[in-house]
Amino acid sequence: MKRRDFAIAALSPLALAACGGGGDDSPPAPAPAPAPTPQATATAALKSAASYMDDVVSYRGGYVWSYSPDLTQTFGEMEAKRTMLWLQPPGTSSIGHIYLDAYHATGDERFYQAADRTAKAVAAAQHASGGWNYIYDFAGEESLKHWYDTVGKNGWRLEEFQHYYGNATFDDATTAVASQLMLRMYLEKRDPVYQAATDKAIQFITDAQFGPQFGVADGGWPQRFPHNPNAISSMPLPNPSQVPAGARTGMEDGDYTLHVTFNDDVMGENIKFLTMCVMALGRTDLVTRITRAMDCMQRMQWTSAVQPLQSGWSLQHLSRDTGGRLAGAPAGARSYEPRSLATHTTQTNVQQLLGYFTLTGDRKYLSQLQKAIDWLKSPSIQLPANVATLNPLLAGRNVATFIELDTNDPLFIHRYGSNIHNGAYFFDKDITNTISHYSSGRTVDPAGLQKRLDEYNAMSQAQVDTMVAKSPLRASTSRALPKYFAAVREVDFPDLFEGAVLKTPTVPESEVQTIIGALVDGKYWTAPVPEIVNPYRGDGPTTPYTGTAYRSRHVGDIYDTSPYPADVPPDIAPYVPRERPQFIITSNFIARMGRLISFVSPVS
The model's pLDDT over 447-493, given as tens digits with 9 standing for 90+, comes to: 999 999 999 999 999 999 999 999 999 998 899 999 999 999 999 99
Angle at 365 between CA 361 and CA 368, to 5 degrees: 145
Are β-strands 527-528 and 582-585 bridged in parallel, bridged antiparallel, or unpaired? Answer: antiparallel
* pLDDT value for 34: 84
The torsion angles phi and psi of 311, rounded to 5 degrees, stand at -150, 115
Whether 116 is in a domain gets the answer yes
Distances (CA, A) of 437 to 390, 393, 400, 529: 18, 10, 15, 17
Whether 518 is in a domain gets the answer yes
* pLDDT value for 24: 58
CA–CA dist 522, 517 (Å, integer): 8
* Number of domains present in the structure of the chain: 1
Residues of the chain short of pLDDT 70, as ranges, are 1-25
* pLDDT value for 12: 33
Whether 178 is in a domain gets the answer yes
- 11-45 pLDDT, tens digit each: 233 233 333 444 556 777 787 888 899 999 999 99
- Domain of residue 178 covers 36-208+503-542+578-604
Report which of 340, 547, 530 is spatially closest to residue 433, judged by C-alpha positions: 547
Whether 74 is in a domain gets the answer yes
CA–CA dist 320, 214 (Å, integer): 7
Whether 196 is in a domain gets the answer yes
Whether 508 is in a domain gets the answer yes
CA–CA dist 139, 561 (Å, integer): 21
Report which of 112, 108, 109 is spatially closest to residue 98, judged by C-alpha positions: 112
* pLDDT value for 29: 79
Whether 160 is in a domain gets the answer yes
Whether 560 is in a domain gets the answer no
Torsional class of 16: left (φ above 0), alpha (ψ -120 to 50), beta (otherwise): alpha
- 248-306 pLDDT, tens digit each: 999 999 999 999 999 999 999 999 999 999 999 999 999 999 999 999 999 999 999 99
Q: Which residues contact 75 (CB under 8 A, 6 or more apart)?
A: 64, 65, 66, 67, 529, 531, 532, 533, 563, 583
Residue 43 three-state SS: helix
Residue 302 three-state SS: strand
